[in-house]
Amino acid sequence: MRQRKLKLDILLIFYYAALIIMGLGATMLVPAVVALGFREWNTALDFVIAILLSFLTGNIFLLFVPQEIRKLKLSWLHGMVAVTVAWFVGMIIGAVPYYLSGFYGSFLDAAFDVMSGLTTTGLTLVQDLDHVPYGINMWRHLLTFIGGQGVVVLALSFLFRDISGAFKLYVGEAKEEQILPNTRNTARVIWIISVIYLFVGTVVFWLIGMVIGLSPLRAFFHGLWVFMAAWSTGGFAPQSQNIMYYHSVLYELACFFFITVGSFNFALHYNVFRGNYREVWRNMEIITFFTTFSLLFLVVACGLAKLGVYTGFSEVFRKGFFHVLSAHTGTGFMTIYSSQFHGWSELAISGLLVAMLLGGSACSTAGGFKALRVGIIWHTLLREVKRLISPESAIIAEKFHHIRDVLLEERHVRGAMLTVLLYIVTFVITAIIGTACGFPLYDAAFEAASATANVGLSIGVTTPAMPAVLKVVYIFVMWAGRLEFMAVLAGVAFIFEAVRRR
Amino acid sequence: MRRITLLVLVMLLLVPHQVIAAPVSSSELLENSDYYDQKMVEFEGEVVGDVMVRGKNAWVPVSDGENTLSVWMPVAFAKKIKYIGRYQVRGDKVWVKGIFYKSCPEHGGSLDIHAQSFRVLEPGYEVTIPLDMSRLFTVVILGILTAALILVNHYLGRGYYF
Amino acid sequence: MAENRSTKRLFQGKTVFLGIIVELGVVVVLVFSGIIVSWLVTW
C-alpha cells in the first residue's frame, strides 16, 4: 500500500515537471525565430532540436501518468520536488542549443550558463561572446527574463488548464507572496507588470542606444537584452565588456532605474500600479534597502576615494555607485574588468560583498537575504532591546509595514533567521570549496557571495578554465539560493520519506 | 586635492609619455594596468561589436582574442574600418598606438586606450557557415519520434493539450 | 484586494503611468543620495 502511494506521488511529480519542461521548451520558439530572421540557419536548427527534445521528454513523462492520477492533489512537498525535477531537466534541455552553438567549452559550461540565467545570477562561461549569434544571445537573455519571473509562474499563467496544485508549485520557486487570492491571477499579475516594464524599458534603452551611436536594429536588440537582464537583475549583456561596452552615462542611468525597480517586490509594484503611491515611502523593504544601500555605498565610496583607487567625483560615482547598486540588487552588471577588482581596496570589496549577500526585495527577481528578512531581523532586535528596558510583565508588540501593518510574530522571526542562516552557511561552505580549488580566500569569498546571492559580479574565478568541481558547486549553490533552500529541504525530506516507507 | 590633480595633469602634459614598443596583449595590459597607466602602448586586434560615433570621436571595441578593449579614436580613423566582427563576420584586424588609461578621468574611470595612430592591418571578411546536414537530419528524426509519441499518448488518452 | 475581477481590468493606464513615475522618484532619490556621498568623499 505504502509502496503504491509512493509510486503515485512520483508519477504526479513527473506529470507537473513534464508540463513545466514543455512550457520552457515552447519559449525557445522566440530565439529560433530571431535566429531565422538573422539567417542563422544552424542556430535556428539547434533551437528546433532542443524544442523537440523538450516535447519528447515531456511526452515520455506523460506516457506513464494515467488521467486519474493527474486529478490527484499535489502536496507542498511534491510541488517542490516537481519544481526541482523541472529545473534539472530544463537545465539540461536549455543547454542543448548552447552546447551545439560551439561557443561553450563543454556541456557542463553550457548547463552552468543556463542555471546562471534561470537563477538570474549572471556569471557566465561563454567564450568569444563578441561573435555569438543573435539567436543565442536572445536565448541567454530570455532565460534570464523567464527565470526572474519564475519558470513556474510562466507555466501557470499560460499553460495549465487545471491548477489544483498551482500554489504549491508557485511557492516552490520562493514566491510566497500571494498578490491575489487566485494563484493563476497572481502569476498573471507578475507577468503583466513585467511586460509593461519590458515595453517601457526596451523603448528607453532603444532610444538611448541610437543616441550613443548604435544602428537602430542593433540598438533595439541591445535594448531588449539589456532590459531583460536589468529587470530580472540578471547581469548578462550581449557583449563581453558587459555595460562598459556602451561607455555612456545615459545607459548607466537607465540601468540604475531598471535594476532598482527590478529588485522591488511584485506586491509593491501591484499596489503602486493600482494607485497606492504612498506605499513606496512606507514599505519596510524600501526603507531597509535604502538604509543598507546608503551605508554600504558610504563604505565602498570611502574605500575607493580615501585609499586612492578612484579620486575624482565622476569615477567614484560611475564605478562605485554602479557596482554597489549592481551588487545590492543582485544584478551583476559590470563596468570594469573582473581583474580590476583586485585593484580595489579591501574596504571597498568587503562593502560590495555584504551588499551582494543582502540582496533585493522578497518576491522579486533578486537574490540574497532579501530586505524583508533584514527588516524583520532589525525589528526583532528592536523588540528585544525594548523587552530588556521594560518591566518583566509588559507585553512588547513590534509592528512593521509591508503592504499593510503587520504584527511581528515568532513565525516571521523564525523564517527570516533560518533562511539568513542557511544563506550564510552556504556562502561560507562555497567559499571554503573555492579555496580548496586553489583560489585565494579573498577571491573565493567574493565569488561565493556572488553565486549564493545570485548576483553575478565576478572577480575572475568564473572562467571556462576553472575546476569542474567548482562549476558543479556553483550550479548547485545558485539553484539552492534562488529557490531559497526550500527545494533543497524538500528534496532531502522526499528522499527521507521514500526511504522510510520501504 | 584639486590643485594636486591639476598639477599632475600639467606635469603629464609636459613630460613626454614613455613609449612601450611592440604591441602588448590585453591580458598584459589588464594584469599590469598600474605599470602601463598613462603610457603610450601599441595594441592589435579585431574590431568587434559596434563602432559608436560620439561627435568627433568614436568608441571602437578591439578584441585580441583574450579580452576586448575600448579604443577612443577620431572619427577619421574609425571611417577606415570596413568589417566589424560579429557572428559570421571576421572584423578588420587593426593596429592602434595610443595612451592607455587604467581609469580614464575623461570617461568616468573606464579602462581605455586613446588612439593617436591607427592602421588597418588585415581587412575582415564574411564567413558563410553552410547549413549543417547532420543537424537537419537530427531534427527530422527527433520530429518523427516526438510526433509518434504525441500520437501514442493521444490514443492512450494520456496526451496534454494546452 | 479581494475583489474577484479579471486581471484585464486590474490596471488602468493612468495609475500605471503615475506608478512608474513614483517608482522613478524612488530611484532618483537613491541616485541623488549617491551623488551627494560621491561628492562628499572626493571633496
User: What CATH number corresponds to the domain at position B19?
Assistant: 2.40.50.140
> How many beta-carbon contacts under 8 Å exist across A and C?
88
> For the residues B145-151, what does the mean pLDDT come to?
95
What is the full DSSP assignment across B124-160?
-EE------HHHHHHHHHHHHHHHHHHHHHHHTT---
Judge if B11 and B62 occupy the same domain.
yes
- Which three-class secondary structure state does DSSP give residue B48? strand
* List of chain A residues whose C-beta atoms are within 8 Å of the C-beta of residue C25: 280
C34: closest chain A residue by CA: A321
Contacts of C31 in chain A (CB under 8 A): 253, 256, 321
Q: Which among A167, A232, A238, A155 has a CA at the least distance from the CA of A193?
A: A232
Look at C27 and A280 and tell me if their CB atoms are within 8 Å: no
Q: Count how many domains chain B has.
A: 2
pLDDT(B2) > 60: no
Same domain as B134, residue B122: no
Cβ contact (<8 Å) for A339 and B31? yes
Q: B54 CA to chain A: closest CA distance, Å?
A: 7
Residue in A317, A324, A345, A364 to test binding to C, most C beta-carbons within 10 Å: A317
> The domain containing residue B106 runs over which residues?
2-126
Least CA distance to A334: which residue of chain B?
Answer: B110
Is the Cα torsion angle A334, A340, A345, A346 positive or negative in sign?
A: positive
Cα distance between residue A149 and residue A194, in whole Å: 8
Q: Are B120 and B141 in the same domain?
A: no
The C-alpha of A58 sits at a distance from chain B's nearest C-alpha, in angstroms, of 10
State residue B8's pLDDT score. 54
Measure in Å the smallest separation between the Cα of C9 and chain A Cα atoms: 11
Cβ-contact B48, A130 below 8 angstroms? yes
Residue A306 has its nearest CB partner, among C12, C33, C41, at C41
One pLDDT digit (tens) per residue for chain A, 502 residues: 566 777 888 898 898 889 889 989 999 999 999 999 999 999 999 999 999 999 999 999 999 988 888 877 777 778 788 888 888 999 999 999 999 999 999 999 999 999 999 999 999 999 999 999 999 999 999 999 999 888 777 666 655 555 555 556 666 565 666 677 677 778 888 889 999 999 999 999 999 999 999 999 999 999 999 999 999 999 999 999 999 999 999 999 999 999 999 999 998 999 999 999 999 989 999 999 999 999 999 999 999 988 888 888 999 999 999 999 999 999 999 999 999 999 899 999 999 999 999 999 988 888 889 999 999 999 999 999 999 998 888 888 888 888 888 888 888 888 889 989 999 999 999 999 999 999 999 999 999 999 999 999 999 999 999 999 999 999 999 999 988 887 788 888 888 888 886 6
Do B60 and B102 belong together in one domain? yes
Q: Are residues B108 and B148 in the same domain?
A: no
Same domain, residue pair B103 and B160: no
- Do you know the residue count of chain B? 162
Asked if the C-beta of A286 comes within 8 angstroms of chain C's C-beta atoms, the answer is yes
Residues in B touching A343 (Cβ below 8 Å)? 33-34, 102
Integer Cα distance of A285 and C17 in angstroms: 22
Residues of B in contact with A53 (CB under 8 A): 142
Asked if A196's CB is within 8 angstroms of C16's CB, the reply is yes
Domain ranges of chain A: 2-262, 276-358, 375-501
Q: How far is C38 from chain A (nearest CA, A)?
A: 6
Cross-chain Cβ contact C34/A321 below 8 Å: yes
Closest alpha carbon within chain C to A181: C2
Per-residue model confidence (pLDDT) at position C2 = 44
Residues 6 or more apart whose Cβ sits within 8 Å of residue A407: A397, A398, A399
Question: Does residue B31 share a domain with residue B58?
Answer: yes
Grid cell listed for B65? 582574442
Q: Does domain A375-501 have CATH number 3.40.30?
A: no
Question: Which partners does chain C have (≥3 C-beta pairs < 8 Å)?
Answer: A
SS3 A405: strand
CB-based contacts of A282, cutoff 8 Å, min separation 6: A401
Backbone angles phi, psi at A365, to 5 degrees: -95, -5
* Claim to verify: residue B63 and residue B109 sit in the same structural domain: yes
**Domain match, B137 and B99 both:** no
Instruction: Please report the DSSP string for B52-98 in residue order.
Output: EEETTEEEEEEE-SS-EEEEEEEHHHHTT----BBTTEEPPEEEEEE
Q: For residue A197, what is the nearest residue in chain C, using CA coordinates? A: C20
Kindly list the residues from chain C whose CB atom is less than 8 angstroms away from the CB atom of residue A305: 41-42
Same-domain check for residues B68 and B12: yes
CA distance B141 to A43: 18
- Which phi and psi (to 5°) does residue A60 adopt? -65, -45
**Three-class SS state of B44:** strand
Q: Which residue on chain B is closest to A100 by alpha carbon?
A: B135
